[in-house]
A and B are shown apart, each in its own frame.
Chain A
């Protein structure tokens, strides 16, 4: 079974440029998460989708970040314009229904803003 797939793996952009990340969750997983992870920290939630609905985007900086999950399957996360402080690893995860199930992570996109 294919795991969570993310692309690109690495991205280097200049500040003020736009960038987009893509995620394809595990088939059948209704819930999709975007996390941000800084060095030495645990993942921090940016947004959670249940199917195509964003049910928690309270931690998403909406002035520059946007996300979508059309058709309730794959998802994109966009930053426009990027700032130096956005350099981090962006992780996508998915889970199946039920509070006791685990979250499965993709390999992440390592973003460097220069």
Chain B
């Protein structure tokens, strides 16, 4: 069983739409949580960390539900530049485990 499960999509949404990505993790010992963004043929880069209380960064909101072992990312007012793959990541004992990524294309 994979440590992190994500819906690979693809998600194709119009500009200005709100889109939500979800992922689940299997190990309750997971210590920290992240969303990474990966552009085509580029390396993954941190989008935001995810905290138990939920956190927001501009148009992006991340939520963590430890009881359900569930992480979400909400993108409001989607921009063309948001088109990328979004990777859900958990850290267990200084080891990072990645989901397969969810592909997002924002359409004009």
Chain A residues with CB under 8 Å of chain B are 31, 33, 35, 40-45, 48, 50, 56, 91, 93, 95, 97, 99-100, 102-108
Judge whether B32 is part of the interface by a CB distance below 8 angstroms.
Answer: yes
Q: Which residues of A contact B89 (CB under 8 A)?
A: 103
The residue that B32 contacts in the complex, of A35, A91, A99, with Cβ under 8 A, is: A99
A88 to B42, CA, bound (A): 13
Q: Decide: A105 and B98 in contact? CB cutoff 8 A.
A: no
CB-CB under 8 A for A100 and B100, given A105-B43, A107-B42, A107-B43: no
Minimum C-beta distance from B64 to chain A (A): 13
Interface of chain B, main secondary structure: strand
The residue that A42 contacts in the complex, of B34, B93, B101, with Cβ under 8 A, is: B101
A-contact bits for B74-101, CB 8 A (1 contact / 0 none): 0000000000000101010111111111
A91 to B95, CA, bound (A): 15
Chain B residues with CB under 8 Å of chain A are 4, 6, 8, 31-32, 34, 42-46, 49, 87, 89, 91, 93-101
A44 to B34, CA, bound (A): 16
Q: Decide: B91 and A99 in contact? CB cutoff 8 A.
A: yes
* Contact count A vs B, C-beta below 8 Å: 54
Q: Which residues of B contact A106 (CB under 8 A)?
A: 43
Q: Decide: B43 and A100 in contact? CB cutoff 8 A.
A: no
Closest to B96 in A: A103
A90 to B23, CA, bound (A): 24
The residue that A95 contacts in the complex, of B87, B94, B98, with Cβ under 8 A, is: B94
The residue that A41 contacts in the complex, of B46, B94, B101, with Cβ under 8 A, is: B101
Closest to A108 in B: B43
Closest to A44 in B: B98
